[in-house]
Chains A and B, each alone.
Chain A
Amino acid sequence: MRRLRPSLWLFLLATSGAVAAEHRFPPPEFEAGHKLPITTTPEARALAWQYVDLAVLLGALGLALWLIYRRRSRRGVMWLSIFSLGYFGFYRNGCICAIGTIQNLALGIFDRSYALPLTVLGFFLAPLVVALFGGRAFCAAVCPHGALQDLVLVKPVKVPGWLEHSLGLVPFLFLGAGAAFAATGSAFIICRYDPFVPLFRLSGSMSLIGLGAAFVLVGLFVGRPYCRFLCPYGALLRLAGLVSKWRVRVTPDYCTQCKLCEHACPYGAMREPVAAPTHPEPPARQRRRLAWLLLVLPLAVGGGALVGRQLAPLAARMHPTVALAELYTEHLSSPKKFPPMTPEALSLERAEADPKALLAAAADLRGRFGIASTWFGAWVGLVIVIKLIALSLRPARTDYEPDRGACVACARCFESCPNERVRRGLLPPEALPPRPLPAAPVAMKKA
């Protein structure tokens, strides 16, 4: 608070001077000496609470890391999930959340006049940096969206691989669209179409509540449908997880190849060891495919950019100013009569007051959308072809291990592993088959 003083004083000086110079027309003098009531101004949530939020976030992230890597405790992760759901979800109404901060950041980068609150930057960066080193600990138990879905999962169903991979494109496209709309200052679509925030608030538009309910219903059977198939921040964390320094390891010792962990994972994130196919695809064909895809990559990016550019006028309508300008020009050519005092009639009045400025602003925005949607188109091409390339590379794996990107570190697999059970003293060591190969390097020490 102390640091705020100078700016506060400046603000007061700037406004109070003007107020003092003004003379307000005096209200009536009441003979009976009636005193005028004072207009109340309930305070907004105090700034200090923003720092509490940030502290809770950092604390929860640290605790999640500890629970996942040290304690290897599903129960602990679950209780942290419940806490996060309660705090960030139902107490803080799902707002502030790291998912939405993508947009604030995108807007902040492109709009120099937009001041980014410190906490927003913190909420964006902290989970990301954690993911770069320790995987998606944020998704595991800190994000209220993830926590909600994780907790309602009662009967996980395996999503077929092809569907998983295809739908897995959506978060990246949503990320691109969200950033593009935010960067042009037109809309925060990630927040607007967030299915869970209305549930946290117990209030919202019917369609969004319905969407949230639908996600929860699907989430009873499909693990974390939002995280896997929509969440744009999850897409970012997935990328971060791919290069993370430490990762979740199922077995504390060596892999017995029992496949139990694969069954335990509800999110399709467990990868089996690579086995040689009986009829391997000729390597030449694989190489040719890869070469083709590498060739297609720039074409797809360029083509996407071209198509994206064409989308600019459509996308620009998302901006209220452009929408108003279009309503106005349409009104000029074929006048429409709106009932008096309706929002449409009133916004047209605003347009008519200074059409030149409005149309100039709209033209400027269209120009910005031209750039943004070009980038978006290129991003779409890039995402699709990179995904195809990734599916064309042969992985090298000797053990069952969670996919670095897909694993949300929910800690369910740990207790499925016989080696872990031995470690916890739930199984006698003799129950295990003998160590098949020399020990593979283990990143984290056993507890």
Chain B
Amino acid sequence: MNPGPTTPAFSRRQFLRDGLRLSAVAGAAGLAGAMAGRTQAQTTVWQIDPAKCVRCGNCATKCVLEQSAVKCVHAFDICGYCQLCTGYFEPEPNELTTAAENQQCPTAAIKRTFVEDPYYEYEIDENLCIGCAKCVEGCTRFGNGSLYLQIRHDRCLNCNECAIARTCPGDAFRRVPVTHPYLLKTDTH
């Protein structure tokens, strides 16, 4: 092609392009300005509101991690230290021993230790806990609700859209400031 006649076309395109670019930059700047008021310096992380949790078992199965980042945590100062812990034992345990048939945790992640008559302490082994909430339901139904689910931030990948949150029947997941990443129980009786 002859370059002569194309030159004006070229510059016309150039002009158009410059104009579009300018407006795009202005748009981006405008967007940044508009959103600046709504942005916050601190980022947020996902957490479970224990008051809304319905113990459905989704936390164990829906997390993108092979072993869920949701774990059962134990509020020791709410616990009654019961001998017959309904979080630890099957609903109608055979005996009150640590034998497999009496425990309800599918991965035996609750450790039961004798403190003194008649008190026992229960601790969660987070490497084994899968966040299935079976113990949480037992503890909430009969006991003080000292066992409850929380997202553990040393494991959570903080997905943009939490895969558990979108299927949570209790609508219990929400984003919380990274500076206060846990929603711990502060129950009164």
A243 and B159 form a contact (CB under 8 A): no
Residue among B24, B28, B43, B66 making CB contact with A50, cutoff 8 Å: B43
Q: Is A163 an interface residue (CB 8 A)?
A: no
> Measured between alpha carbons, how far is A347 from B150 in the docked complex, in Å?
20
Convert A195-225 into 0s and 1s, putting 1 for each residue whose CB lies closer than 8 angstroms to a CB of B. 0001001011100000000000000000000
Question: Nearest chain-A residue to B76 (Cβ)?
Answer: A36
Hey, which bits of chain B sit against chain A, CB under 8 A?
1, 3, 6, 9-10, 13, 17-18, 20-21, 24-25, 28, 31-32, 34-36, 38-45, 54-58, 64-66, 73-81, 115-116, 119, 121, 123, 137, 144, 152-154, 156-161, 163, 166-171, 177-182, 184, 186-189
Residue among A37, A105, A396 making CB contact with B35, cutoff 8 Å: A105
> Measured between alpha carbons, how far is A133 from B20 in the docked complex, in Å?
12
Please indicate the chain B residues that have their CB under 8 angstroms from the CB of A425 in the complex: none
B161 and A34 form a contact (CB under 8 A): no
Residue among B10, B163, B184 making CB contact with A396, cutoff 8 Å: B10
Residue among B24, B73, B116, B156 making CB contact with A44, cutoff 8 Å: B156
Q: Is A188 an interface residue (CB 8 A)?
A: yes
Please indicate the chain B residues that have their CB under 8 angstroms from the CB of A112 in the complex: 38
Q: What would 14 more interface pairs be, CB under 8 Å, given A37-B76, A191-B159?
A: A25-B188, A41-B181, A42-B152, A108-B38, A117-B39, A117-B43, A118-B39, A132-B25, A192-B161, A240-B24, A243-B18, A243-B20, A346-B54, A396-B13
B79 and A118 form a contact (CB under 8 A): no
B188 and A47 form a contact (CB under 8 A): no
Please indicate the chain A residues that have their CB under 8 angstroms from the CB of B78 in the complex: 24-25, 27
Given contacts A50-B43, A115-B38, A343-B57, whether A22 and B166 have CB atoms under 8 Å apart is: no
Convert A93-122 into 0s and 1s, putting 1 for each residue whose CB lies closer than 8 angstroms to a CB of B. 101100010011100110010111111110
> Measured between alpha carbons, how far is A350 from B51 in the docked complex, in Å?
13
> Measured between alpha carbons, how far is A257 from B116 in the docked complex, in Å?
90
A-B contact pairs, 22 of them (CB 8 A): A7-B42, A8-B179, A24-B187, A27-B79, A31-B116, A38-B76, A42-B153, A43-B181, A44-B153, A44-B156, A45-B158, A108-B35, A117-B44, A132-B28, A205-B64, A240-B24, A320-B166, A343-B56, A349-B54, A396-B13, A398-B1, A398-B6
> Measured between alpha carbons, how far is A160 from B44 in the docked complex, in Å?
45
Nearest CB in chain A: distance from B186 CB, A: 6
Q: Is A295 an interface residue (CB 8 A)?
A: no
> Measured between alpha carbons, how far is A11 from B188 in the docked complex, in Å?
21
Q: Is A447 an interface residue (CB 8 A)?
A: no
Interface centre among A38, A45, A201 (most CB of B within 10 A): A45
Q: Is A282 an interface residue (CB 8 A)?
A: no
A191 and B6 form a contact (CB under 8 A): no
Nearest CB in chain A: distance from B149 CB, A: 13
Question: Nearest chain-B residue to A25 (Cβ)?
Answer: B189
Please indicate the chain A residues that have their CB under 8 angstroms from the CB of B74 in the complex: 39
Question: Nearest chain-A residue to B19 (Cβ)?
Answer: A243
Q: Is A263 an interface residue (CB 8 A)?
A: no
Residue among B158, B163, B179 making CB contact with A4, cutoff 8 Å: B179
Please indicate the chain A residues that have their CB under 8 angstroms from the CB of B144 in the complex: 25
Please indicate the chain A residues that have their CB under 8 angstroms from the CB of B57 in the complex: 341-343
Q: Is A331 an interface residue (CB 8 A)?
A: no
A398 and B3 form a contact (CB under 8 A): yes
A47 and B1 form a contact (CB under 8 A): no
B65 and A203 form a contact (CB under 8 A): yes
Residue among A24, A37, A42, A438 making CB contact with B188, cutoff 8 Å: A24
Residue among A114, A191, A198, A342 making CB contact with B56, cutoff 8 Å: A342
Residue among B21, B56, B65, B115 making CB contact with A34, cutoff 8 Å: B115
Given contacts A28-B119, A39-B76, whether A346 and B56 have CB atoms under 8 Å apart is: yes
Q: Is A284 an interface residue (CB 8 A)?
A: no
